[in-house]
């Protein structure tokens, strides 16, 4: 089953809406001022790599308790709000909308995402379960539909050296052995970033909420490449995308402020890429 939602959400968050126009100069000895302690990403802005003009942004507003209370996705090109919602907290529940919510476990990690949509007299229920290993890393993500007691899709995550290095997505229906997505991720062994975002190639339901939610431990190093292969309805490779990340800019106390991306697609050659800047909320 083809699954392209990952591509849309990843590109919205982490790359520009226009093609790469110039080569950026890396700045490994950057001396940007320190941000402070206990900071987390609250804004991702995508920019034209040549002009520096903003293309869009994802913004989270935090309250004094450190909880994200507002999420906005803004299209700067058309000057329009693409998505906006308030987050409401009650016990173990984080409600996104009347039809969508997250449930948290005792460690305040996400354990369930639930969505129920109605259209034309039909109701469509999506239920996603998140499972963690003993070390606190996300081990698997299972997707249920309707009232099914067994998952329809399962994504397994492989970790090595404190980094997520592989994702394997497949149909989980008993008797069916068919892939829908595979991914490999490589990191710069010499670059780490304080409290940075986790980059999932598949979890479309959490991408705009990533800095507001706890999905287990994040990768230790900064991403260098992410290669994702999508599969067709017969389980055969259909398309491959490779995102390259470079030109990291850090604050002097180790927070990632900016990187550049370049994307290759197997069917169309070079695709989208650009710059992304990261803003932070600090307590």
- The model's pTM is 0.85
Res. 60: pLDDT tops 60: yes
pLDDT in tens, 30-51: 568 889 888 999 999 988 776 6
pLDDT in tens, 155-203: 999 999 999 999 999 999 888 889 999 999 999 999 999 999 988 888 8
CA–CA distance from 208 to each of 120, 156, 249 (Å)? 28, 21, 22
């Amino acid at each position: 089953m083809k699954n392209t939602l990952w591509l849309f959400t990843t590109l919205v968050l982490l790359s520009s809406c226009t093609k790469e126009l110039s080569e950026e100069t890396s700045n490994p000895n950057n001396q940007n001022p320190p941000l402070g302690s206990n900071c987390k990403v609250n804004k991702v802005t995508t920019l034209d790599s040549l002009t520096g003009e903003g293309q869009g942004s994802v913004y989270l507003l935090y309250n004094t308790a450190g909880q994200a209370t507002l999420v906005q996705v803004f299209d700067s090109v058309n000057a329009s709000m693409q998505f906006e919602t308030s987050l409401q907290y009650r016990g173990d529940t984080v409600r996104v909308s009347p039809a969508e919510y997250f449930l948290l476990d005792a460690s305040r990690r996400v354990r369930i995402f639930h969505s129920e949509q109605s259209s034309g007299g039909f109701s469509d229920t999506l239920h996603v379960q998140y499972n963690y290993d003993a070390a606190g890393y996300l081990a698997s993500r299972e997707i249920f539909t309707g009232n099914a007691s067994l998952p329809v899709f399962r994504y397994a995550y492989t970790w090595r050296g404190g980094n997520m290095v592989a994702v394997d997505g497949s149909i989980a229906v008993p008797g069916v052995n068919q892939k829908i997505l595979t991914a490999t991720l490589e990191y710069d062994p010499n670059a780490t970033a304080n409290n940075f975002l986790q980059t999932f190639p598949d979890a479309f339901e959490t991408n705009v909420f990533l800095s507001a939610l706890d999905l287990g431990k994040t990768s230790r190093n900064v991403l260098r490449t992410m290669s994702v292969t999508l599969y067709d309805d017969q389980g055969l490779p259909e398309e491959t995308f490779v995102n390259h990340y470079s030109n990291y800019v850090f604050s002097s106390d180790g927070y990632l402020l900016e990187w550049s991306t370049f994307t290759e697609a197997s069917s169309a050659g070079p695709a989208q890429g650009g710059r992304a800047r990261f803003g932070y909320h600090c307590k």
